[in-house]
A and B are shown apart, each in its own frame.
Chain A
Amino acid sequence: MSLAKPDAVDISNKQKIALAVGVIGLFVLVLALFNTNFPNKAVFLSLSLGLIIVGIVVYARDAYLNKLEGIKNDGVWFKSISSRGIWGWIVGIILTTFYIVLYFFPKYLGLGSDGEANSGLIGLFDPLSQLLSGRNASQWFVYGTLYTVAILAFGYKFMLKYRHNRYQQLRTVSVMFFQLGFAFLIPEFMYVMNNDLPYYDLKSMWPLNYYIFDEWSVNGFLSNGNIGLALILFGIISIFVISPILTYKYGKRWYCSWVCGCGGLAETAGDSFRQLSSKKMSAWKIERWLIHTVLVFSVLMTTAVIYTYLGYDKNDFWLTRDVFIALVIGFLTLVFAAVMFFKRQELGKDAKYGAIGFFVAITVLLVMHFTGTTENLFYVKASVLRSSYGIYIGSIFSGVIGTGFYPILGNRSWCRFGCPMAAVLGFQQRMFSKFRITTNGGQCISCGNCSNSCEMGIDVRAYAQKGENIVRSSCVGCGVCSAVCPRGVLKLENDSMEGRINPTEILLGNDVDLMDLVNKK
């Protein structure tokens, strides 16, 4: 391509000041990181977070409120930060480093070990943590606070950017609410009420919340009477009852772009990077194998972990190892059989191979169990499976790569390639849901705005220009493709299952006889 990359349009002076204010706020955090001993931590923490928020808010107001309502994508492919330029790489590297330190070396953030007081960055957050739950901060509290601040401040920015679009505004309010309430405040208050309960973000369900069925977690719930029992039952009902119903009615968007915290960060702080996801066919192929492999891994891991702490004797507790394995096998077989029976025609060749491969994994599970392996359900200790899942998937994939690589891979690479929850919801969305993105007859002009802005890397245009509805497992229903379409071609909607998938060769508007001839073949 011979076009030189033009300079991005300069930002206004007010935006420059706002940027400076935000950077000063961040700089206070950096000073704390290098163990500056602030005299009054509460004041400096408030100052820092306050400046960051004010910076983002002022910047956003100046950027969007001085223009008429409409699509605000001018220059996104010119700006260094949002087009993998030097600023994009710098931010990516800083974020990645932060995640590595957070997950693997929290002591460098100032986490006190063996009863020592916190220092550094984590120490700076002690006053806020004391205020909310009466204990000192941990690295997760620091992370949770910054995460929440990011979703709230950038959520405000996103709402201004789409102030003509009620769908965008409502779902942004929703993710801001769920992050602030469910992920941040409620768990802290739950700790105040009952400090034996494990941390529980009610909206985060298995398999995204991969530790909920760990032995310590389950014991933590069960040793806390009815409230604990209710919570763990809610965890089970969430994934097996609530989620399938909502996904059937509204598609996976009810979770991924209205409730989920990962999705919340991606849609707000990550919005500037949505265009960076790869739309290539090859990326889609990688996606399908990778995300389903993670799902299988998480199912096997969780099964092995639960299996390990269950007993043999049904007199102790009705759920013995045998019963549990039988339940798992029964459930997975049921899903497999139902899909193969009802939805066979809708599966591509590789999807069939994948499903069969998945089923073979279950058979192996079955055989191994009844041939008498005990501790090592999959020849590997459950604890090893569990800890490697935690490190490679829970930390490296979702955090370091998923968020650290926002400016390189786009804002949803975890959701797209890794999240087992997205895989479960997506599977259902593709097979059994009323949700689709409807294509408006023959109005598509193949411009590509939709594909460009799809954070999940769906080549939306490939469907729209064929007059075909978009029914894809990965679609999180963010609605931005519909918003940016200059011809009003795309609409997210819930309608009947029939005719949802409607491939066409001849588009509406042409000779009706020709449409009949070709499309009904």
Chain B
Amino acid sequence: MDHIVIIGNGISGVTLARHIRKLSDKKITIISAETDYFFSRTALMYVYMGHMKFEHTQPYENWFWKKNRIELKKGYVKNVCTKSKTLHFDKGETMPYDKLIIATGSKPNKFGWPGQESNGVMGMYHKQDLENLEKHAPNKDVCKRAVIVGGGLIGIELAEMLNSRKIPVTFLVREDSFWNGVLPEGESEMINRHIKNHHIDLRLSTNLKEIKSDENGNVKSIIIEETGEEIACNVVGLTAGVTPNIDFLKDSEIELGRGVKVNRFLETNIKDVYAIGDCAEQHEAIGNRRPIEAVWYTGRMMGETLAQTICGNKIEYKPGHWFNSAKFLDIEYQTYGWVFGVRGRPEYEKHFHWKHSDDTKCITVAYNKDTNEFLGINTFGIRMRHETFDKWLTEKRNVDYVINHLSEANFDPEFYSKFENDILSTYNNQLQTA
């Protein structure tokens, strides 16, 4: 009987294991150095905020694994010998495998800032980061101020976390508007204002120069590159993106780029070794996607797909229409299809933007200016139906159709105010003036 070994107990590895179990009787082992059981990484923030306890972030009860004959092994894999098909753990143990799946996810970027190893400097990715934050920022008396470096999704979540304990936050963002590498300017600027409304000290176009520590090695301040200003703080959150967590493979024969190089079947250059999730890097990007997709949903999809291949039905990783979501403090964000910010926007992509006067809701619809084909939508503060947009994208609807039928896609709770008419009249007005 095949022994399937999965390194990493995140959404990718666990989805894969569940699907292999549904399809087969193979022996399955999941290895993790981080936690005993699978938990939802995206929910770590809610533990610090007191919305949930850590055990609530675990989607399956502890009996689930034994019942489904999925063995869980806590340990850190030090290196992989693909010739003998053996894993070597840091404590000297070994484990043989028949098929190996690398699903080790990411780790926070550190760009070699002076002082980045001081106590109180941390990412916000692993459970250990949460424990570290709890230690260095339990309340506003111990942590008088925190500085966050990097304006992405994890950065704003960390800001929200600290805010919930009334710890003052200075938020350094390299770009001249929050996350505008991804978001069009109207949206990005609305989020800037929302961040400031939460009394977060947002510093745009601002880079970190160095982190200073006291005689005990604890963070005491940071220096800003542009102005030389020194900001006293007890915690520095480094949230400038993530990189595949694959250092342990450096000495193996597995081909690495930034991540583990895989083909469309999620196979590496070595037979019987696969990679999925954040740590996998496609040889060539699929459509508009990036070669490395560090997103919850894509990890899950790769897990769903690879299970088929491992169980004898070899199929390509062929994701459908792009979608994603996030929450910026109180504003929910969903996206379906492709809407580009200034960076990387194709020449044919044009936008229709509508914003509500309360400055917490807006949408941006992207379309092809030559053919009028609907390309994608970003929606803030208004929930929309995944299924409807997936269908419209498949049917290649044009932008008029989408704007006129927007109410079919509404997913807000019952009795909420509706904005479709307002959106439509704004759309018609813009067309007339254009």
Q: Do these two chains really belong together in a complex? A: yes
Distance in angstroms between the alpha carbons of A425 and B385 in the assembled complex: 29
B76 an interface residue at 8 Å Cβ cutoff? Answer: no
Q: Is the CB of A482 within 8 A of B131?
A: no
Q: Is the CB of B330 within 8 A of A491?
A: no
Nearest CB on B from A2, distance (A): 7
Interface residues of B in 195-229 (CB under 8 A from A): 197-198
Apart from A442-B386, A443-B297, A506-B304, list 20 A-B contacts with CB within 8 A: A9-B165, A69-B330, A71-B51, A73-B51, A75-B50, A77-B51, A442-B300, A443-B325, A446-B42, A446-B59, A448-B40, A486-B327, A486-B332, A488-B383, A491-B383, A491-B412, A511-B315, A511-B318, A511-B320, A514-B308
Contact of A509 among B11, B53, B301 (CB under 8 A): B301
Contact of A447 among B43, B138, B165 (CB under 8 A): B43
Interface residue range, chain B: 35 or more
B192 an interface residue at 8 Å Cβ cutoff? Answer: no
A483 an interface residue at 8 Å Cβ cutoff? Answer: yes
Chain B proximity mask over A1-31: 1 for CB below 8 Å, otherwise 0: 1111011110000000000000000000000
Complex contacts, A68 vs chain B, CB 8 Å = 197-198, 329-330
Q: Is the CB of A441 within 8 A of B385?
A: yes
Interface residues of B in 43-92 (CB under 8 A from A): 43, 46-47, 49-59, 61
Interface residues of B in 110-160 (CB under 8 A from A): 130-131, 134, 138-139
Contact of A442 among B297, B305, B315 (CB under 8 A): B297
Complex contacts, A56 vs chain B, CB 8 Å = none
Query: Of A147-155, A164-172, A231-239, A348-356, which binds chain B?
Result: A164-172
Q: Is the CB of B413 within 8 A of A483?
A: yes
Distance in angstroms between the alpha carbons of A508 and B389 in the assembled complex: 11
Interface of A is mostly: loop
The 27 listed contacts between A and B (C-beta, < 8 Å) are A1-B55, A4-B138, A7-B139, A73-B49, A74-B164, A76-B50, A77-B52, A281-B61, A442-B323, A443-B334, A443-B386, A447-B43, A447-B57, A449-B46, A487-B332, A507-B301, A508-B320, A509-B301, A509-B319, A509-B323, A509-B386, A511-B305, A511-B315, A511-B319, A514-B308, A514-B315, A514-B318
Nearest CB on B from A436, distance (A): 13
Distance in angstroms between the alpha carbons of A339 and B155 in the assembled complex: 53
Known: A166-B416, A511-B319. A446 touches B43 (CB 8 A): yes
Complex contacts, B22 vs chain A, CB 8 Å = 505
A70 an interface residue at 8 Å Cβ cutoff? Answer: yes
Q: Is the CB of A465 within 8 A of B59?
A: yes
Complex contacts, A510 vs chain B, CB 8 Å = 301, 304-305, 319-320
Q: Is the CB of B325 within 8 A of A488?
A: yes
Nearest CB on B from A1, distance (A): 5
Distance in angstroms between the alpha carbons of A441 and B415 in the assembled complex: 22
B392 an interface residue at 8 Å Cβ cutoff? Answer: no
Q: Is the CB of A487 within 8 A of B325?
A: yes
Distance in angstroms between the alpha carbons of A71 and B46 in the assembled complex: 12
The residue among B165, B323, B413 with the most chain A CB atoms within 10 A of its own CB is B413
B411 an interface residue at 8 Å Cβ cutoff? Answer: yes
Contact of B386 among A280, A441, A445, A486 (CB under 8 A): A441
A493 an interface residue at 8 Å Cβ cutoff? Answer: yes
Complex contacts, B330 vs chain A, CB 8 Å = 68-71, 164
Complex contacts, A449 vs chain B, CB 8 Å = 43, 46, 51-52
The residue among A440, A452, A465 with the most chain B CB atoms within 10 A of its own CB is A440
Nearest CB on B from A63, distance (A): 14
Q: Is the CB of A451 within 8 A of B56?
A: yes
The residue among A73, A448, A486, A514 with the most chain B CB atoms within 10 A of its own CB is A448
Chain A proximity mask over B381-395: 1 for CB below 8 Å, otherwise 0: 001111100100010
Interface residue range, chain A: 35 or more
Complex contacts, A440 vs chain B, CB 8 Å = 383, 385-387, 411
Nearest CB on B from A495, distance (A): 12
Distance in angstroms between the alpha carbons of A452 and B330 in the assembled complex: 19
Distance in angstroms between the alpha carbons of A77 and B164 in the assembled complex: 13
Complex contacts, A167 vs chain B, CB 8 Å = 413-416
B99 an interface residue at 8 Å Cβ cutoff? Answer: no
Distance in angstroms between the alpha carbons of A71 and B311 in the assembled complex: 43
Complex contacts, B49 vs chain A, CB 8 Å = 73-75
B26 an interface residue at 8 Å Cβ cutoff? Answer: no
Residue of B nearest to A510 (CB): B301
Complex contacts, B320 vs chain A, CB 8 Å = 508-512
The 6 A-B residue pairs whose C-beta atoms are closest, nearest first, are A441-B386, A70-B330, A488-B383, A447-B43, A75-B50, A166-B415
A252 an interface residue at 8 Å Cβ cutoff? Answer: no
Q: Is the CB of A508 within 8 A of B332?
A: no
Complex contacts, B385 vs chain A, CB 8 Å = 440-441
A479 an interface residue at 8 Å Cβ cutoff? Answer: yes
B265 an interface residue at 8 Å Cβ cutoff? Answer: no
Complex contacts, A493 vs chain B, CB 8 Å = 414
Complex contacts, A484 vs chain B, CB 8 Å = 51
Distance in angstroms between the alpha carbons of A281 and B61 in the assembled complex: 8
Chain A proximity mask over B173-199: 1 for CB below 8 Å, otherwise 0: 000000000000000000000000110
Distance in angstroms between the alpha carbons of A225 and B333 in the assembled complex: 61
Q: Is the CB of B138 within 8 A of A448?
A: no
Residue of B nearest to A488 (CB): B383
Distance in angstroms between the alpha carbons of A357 and B414 in the assembled complex: 39
Complex contacts, A6 vs chain B, CB 8 Å = 50, 134, 138-139, 165
The residue among A73, A488, A491, A510 with the most chain B CB atoms within 10 A of its own CB is A488
Q: Is the CB of A446 within 8 A of B50?
A: no
B321 an interface residue at 8 Å Cβ cutoff? Answer: yes
Q: Is the CB of A488 within 8 A of B11?
A: no
Distance in angstroms between the alpha carbons of A68 and B194 in the assembled complex: 10
Residue of A nearest to B315 (CB): A514
Distance in angstroms between the alpha carbons of A455 and B395 in the assembled complex: 41
